[in-house]
Structure 1
Amino acid sequence: MITRFAPSPTGPLHLGHAYSALTVWKVARDLGGTALLRIEDTDSTRARPVQEAGIYDDLVWLGLDWPAPVRRQSDHVGDYDAVLGRLAQAGLTYPCGCTRRHIINAGAVPGADGMVYPGTCRDRDMANAKPGDGIRLNMRKALAQVDCPLAYIEIGASTAQTTQITHKKLTDDIGDPILRRKDTRDPAYHLACVHDDALQGITHVVRGTDLQDLTPLHVLLQRLLGYDTPLYYHHRLITDESGKRLAKIDKSKALAKYRAEGLTPQDIKHMISFTD
C-alpha cells in the first residue's frame, strides 16, 4: 500500500493542508503502508522555492516523515512531454490558442475543471501547432478508444463502493481538458498527477472532496495510458466560520503563523477535529 501527499508550493500550507496530510499518513499507518511526499511544482509562474521549504518545515512540525528522495515534478518535465507525445501519436490531442476571455465569450459553461471548453480549436491538427499553443485532450476521440466501462473504487472509513463513470459526465462536466498550458508549456495537473501516481506505484489516492469530480478524468487518462487505477478516498474539507473552504487564493491563515503564535501540533489537530 502506497499513498502520497502532493502539495503545490504556490503558497503556505494552511489548516486544510494539515488535515489532508494528517489523513494521508493516518490511512497509510492504518493499512500498514507508506506515505510519500511529492512536490507538484509544475506551475512555473507561481511555484516558489521558499514555499517548498515551508512545506517541509510544516510537515516535520506536524510530526510527519517520508522516504527520500522527494519527487519534484519540475525536475521531470521531459517525462510529461513523452506521455503527452503518446496521446498525440494516438490522435487524441489538438493545439489550442484560446484565451480565457475567448472561452467565456464563446459561451462556455462552468464545469468540474473550470469552464467547459466549447471546442473552438477542436478541428486543428497537431502538425499545425503554433508556439505558445496549449494542448487539449479530445474527449470524444478519447472515449471512442475506451472499449469497456470506466469505473473506480471509492473507499471510506469502513466501506468501499464502485463508482461508474458515464461518457456524459466526462463530455458535459469536463469537456476537453488542457494537458499542457499555453505560453508556459507547463504540464497540466491532470497529466502530471496521473503519470506520477503510476510511476510511484500509488495504490491509494487520499485527497479532498474538492477533487472528487475530477477523478473520472484521471481514470480515463489511466485507461488511455495503460496505467492501473488506484483506490480513491476523498476526505472532508476544512472550512471557515461561514462554511467556505480554506484556500491559498483567499490567503487562509498559514500553519507557520499558528506555529509562531506558540500553538502545538496537538492544538492544530483539535482545531480541525482530527483524531489519530
Structure 2
Amino acid sequence: MAEQVVANKAKPANQAEERRDWLDFFPKWTHAWLVPIVIVAVWQLVSGLELLPRTMLPSPVLIGKSFIDLCVSGELFEHLGISAYRAGLGFLLGGGLGLLLGLSAGLGKVVEKTLDPSLQMLRTVPLLSVIPLFILWFGIGEFSKVLLIGLGAFFPVYVNTFLGIRSTETKLYEVTRILQYTKLQQITKLIIPTALPNILLGVRLSLGVSWLLLVVAEMMGTSAGIGYMIQDARAYSQTEIVFVGIIIFAVFGKLSDSAIRLLEKKWLRWRDTYKG
C-alpha cells in the first residue's frame, strides 16, 4: 500500500518533467529573441558565402554599419522624428474619433441606425484608392498625410469599440437595473469595462495600420521621414539603408504594440482567459 502511494506521488512529478518545453532551458527574457537571432545568423551566413548579390541582400553587419553612420550624422533621428509625429498625430486623430463614434453608435440606437451603415460602407473602400483624391483635395502637404493615416486608424477602433459595447451580456445589464444603477454608472462600471478588451484590440490594430499608411503617405511626395529615406535609398540602390528603414518600422511597430499589451495586462487583470 505504501509503495503504491509513493508511486502515485512520483507519477505527477515525472509527468511534469516530461511536459517541460525545450524553451525552459533558456531564460524567459530570451524566448522572444530566439527566432530573430536564428534569422540573423542564417542571413549572415548566406551573405558571407555570397550566395546572393550585395545589392539584393546586404549582410546584417553592413546594415548595422549603415545604421550607425545614419545615427552619427543625425539624419536618422531627423527622419524618425518627423515620421513619429505624422504617425502619432494621425493615430490620435483617427483613433480618438473612432472611439467617440464607436461609443456613440454602441450606446445609442439612433446613432447606430443613422451613422453605422454609412461608415460600414466607407470601411470597404480600399484606402489606397483615395490617395489620388486626397492629393487633388489637399495637395501633398502634411495635412493630407496625417488625414490619410487618421482615416486608416479610425475604422479598427470604431468597429471594435462598437462590437465590445454590444457584446455586454443582457443579464448583467438587467442586474444593474435591479441594483438601480444610474445610466452613468451602467456605462462606467459595466459597459466600458466589458468593452475594454475589444477597445484595446482596436487600438493595437489601429497602431499597426498607422505605421503601414505612414510608409505610403511618405512615398507619395515628401522630403523627410523614414518612408522618404527608403524611397531615396532605393533610387540610389542603397539596399542596406532600405533594410535600416524597414527594421526601424518593425521595431517601433513592435514597441507600440507591446505598450498596448502592457496596458491590457494592467487593466484586464480581472479576466480569467486561456493562457496557452
TM-score (normalised: structure 1): 0.26
Name which one, 1 or 2, has greater alpha-carbon Rg.
Answer: 2
Q: Which has the higher helix share?
A: 2
Structure in which a larger fraction of residues adopt strand = 1
